[in-house]
A and B are shown apart, each in its own frame.
Chain A
Amino acid sequence: MSEQLFSKKNMKLLTDPLGSNNPITVQVLGICSALAVTAQMKPAFVMALSVTVVVAFANVIISLLRNTIPNRIRIIVQLVVLAALVILVDQFLKAFVYDVSKQLSVFVGLIITNCILMGRLEAFALGNKPWPSFLDGVGNGAGYGMILLIVAFFRELLGSGSIWGHKILPESWYIAQGGFYSNNGMMILPPMALITVGVIIWVQRSRNRNLQEK
């Protein structure tokens, strides 16, 4: 039973969700929030961090309780744990990063209904020890966050000409200043997030043939 903390099996829990078992691009879960909060990188990052914290700790808590939870109310127990953690995160955001919390608005509350979280609790934490559950949570949160940040990078760059709120395209490029360039307003709207996610899925599947459906 003296399995090492970072054995090969455990590392796989951490890295699989980043690639071949990504919650967004492979399992296609958690799309709603991925479309809504990715117009800029900063809220996307905070959302990714919040989801990672919530899913990692919820996994640990459920895993610790897994032998005591009455089978008939296990979904309710999972929901209560999730909801409590999400409200905690929301309260902390409101207290310490108010402007970000306003931008995320209802989506923090909606972490509770994010399918990734319930999916991990039900599929993994209920049947595994706390440490692997923690790694699984961090891995899935990171996999989700990675896609959010990639999408947000392109949407913010092409939609607002900035990265992380800093203008990076020179002002002189813009038509208003006599240049040739103008921001693509479509990129700020949710449909382009869906298309960006679609492109990422396309790239990933063309590189990894195992993921292609027959």
Chain B
Amino acid sequence: MDKNGNIYTFIYASVMVILVAAALAFTAISLKPFQTKNVEIEKKQSILSSVNIASTAKDAEAIYAEKIVNSYIVDATGNKVDGDAFAIDLKVERAKPAEKRLLPVYECQTDEGLKYILPMYGTGLWGPIWGYVSMNDDMNTIYGATFAHQGETPGLGAEIATPGFQQQFKGKKIFDESGNFTSITVAKSNETAPTEHKVDAISGGTITSKGLQKMLLDDFTTYKAFLTQKKQ
């Protein structure tokens, strides 16, 4: 057959593409369980780090099993809903209207008492940002927070994933003294907000900082009914 002819070229290209596609599909399917496992372990590590417990990929599962004593789903009115909290995909919930979202809650027994961990999901500058915020049992004071991002700029927006930024959240309050909901302001120096409701924004990372503030406001708002119920 003429190797430079059209027919040969077409057949060659088709056979090659089908073979390659089959090989890749086979690999992707057979490695899927390992990859899913890794993602789960990473999620457990993030949940633990929001209550200031450090873990490695190896011991995360054991620590998680020991410390996270309970997890459940609540709805926007604060009532419990059946289901597996860990399996909730926040991206899917985020697309629903606020009153229909399923909201996971994790309870963690720490040396300093029972903490409630709330997952958060929002948008930064280049892509999604997410995180976990843990609350003291007064349902007002933040005990710890951890944030992650998909593609924020290193050195600027990506700083939200650093301990230095996250440690600011400890001890901040989301309700003011008269019980009104205030959330947390991620503030530049020219913005005023009471110290207990404010953390410092990231220089050069304004849009990520604002995205984080909006994420906290939106997600605390959907959890508000649950938080108020628990408080009483």
Is A76 interfacial (CB 8 A cutoff)?
A: yes
Is B203 interfacial (CB 8 A cutoff)?
A: no
Task: Please tell me if the beta carbons of B23 and A95 are within 8 angstroms of each other in the complex.
Answer: no
Please measure, in the bound complex, the distance between the C-alpha atom of A71 and the C-alpha atom of B189, giving whole angstroms: 63
Task: Please tell me if the beta carbons of B38 and A95 are within 8 angstroms of each other in the complex.
Answer: yes
Please measure, in the bound complex, the distance between the C-alpha atom of A55 and the C-alpha atom of B14, giving whole angstroms: 24
Give how many B residues have a beta carbon under 8 Å from the other chain's beta carbons.
22
Is A171 interfacial (CB 8 A cutoff)?
A: no
Give the residue of A71, A72, A77, A98 whose beta carbon is less than 8 angstroms from that of B38. A98
Interface residues in chain B, defined as those with a beta carbon under 8 Å from any beta carbon in chain A:
3-4, 8-9, 12-13, 16-17, 20, 23-24, 27-28, 31, 34-35, 38-39, 41-42, 57, 155
Q: Which residues of chain A are within 8 angstroms of B34 by Cβ–Cβ distance? A: 94-96
Give the residue of A72, A76, A88 whose beta carbon is less than 8 angstroms from that of B24. A88
Q: List 14 A-B contacts (CB under 8 A).
A: A69-B12, A70-B4, A70-B8, A70-B9, A72-B4, A76-B13, A80-B17, A87-B24, A88-B23, A88-B24, A91-B35, A95-B34, A98-B38, A98-B39
Minimum C-beta distance from A188 to chain B (A) = 9
Minimum C-beta distance from A16 to chain B (A) = 31
Minimum C-beta distance from A1 to chain B (A) = 24
Query: Chain A contact residues: over half helix, strand or loop, or mixed?
Result: helix
Give the residue of A73, A80, A84, A95 whose beta carbon is less than 8 angstroms from that of B9. A73
Please measure, in the bound complex, the distance between the C-alpha atom of A80 and the C-alpha atom of B24, giving whole angstroms: 12
Task: Please tell me if the beta carbons of B24 and A77 are within 8 angstroms of each other in the complex.
Answer: no
Residue among A88, A91, A189 with the most chain B CB within 10 A?
A: A91
Minimum C-beta distance from A169 to chain B (A) = 21
Q: Which residues of chain A are within 8 angstroms of B39 by Cβ–Cβ distance? A: 98
Interface residues in chain A, defined as those with a beta carbon under 8 Å from any beta carbon in chain B:
68-73, 76-77, 80-81, 84, 87-88, 91-92, 94-96, 98-99, 189
Task: Please tell me if the beta carbons of B35 and A68 are within 8 angstroms of each other in the complex.
Answer: no
- Complex: chain B residue closest to A97, CB-CB: B38
- Complex: chain B residue closest to A96, CB-CB: B34
Task: Please tell me if the beta carbons of A91 and B4 are within 8 angstroms of each other in the complex.
Answer: no
For the complex of A and B, the 5 pairs showing the least CB-CB separation, nearest first, are A95-B34, A98-B38, A95-B31, A70-B9, A84-B20
Task: Please tell me if the beta carbons of B12 and A94 are within 8 angstroms of each other in the complex.
Answer: no
Minimum C-beta distance from A127 to chain B (A) = 16
Minimum C-beta distance from B46 to chain A (A) = 12
Task: Please tell me if the beta carbons of B57 and A91 are within 8 angstroms of each other in the complex.
Answer: no
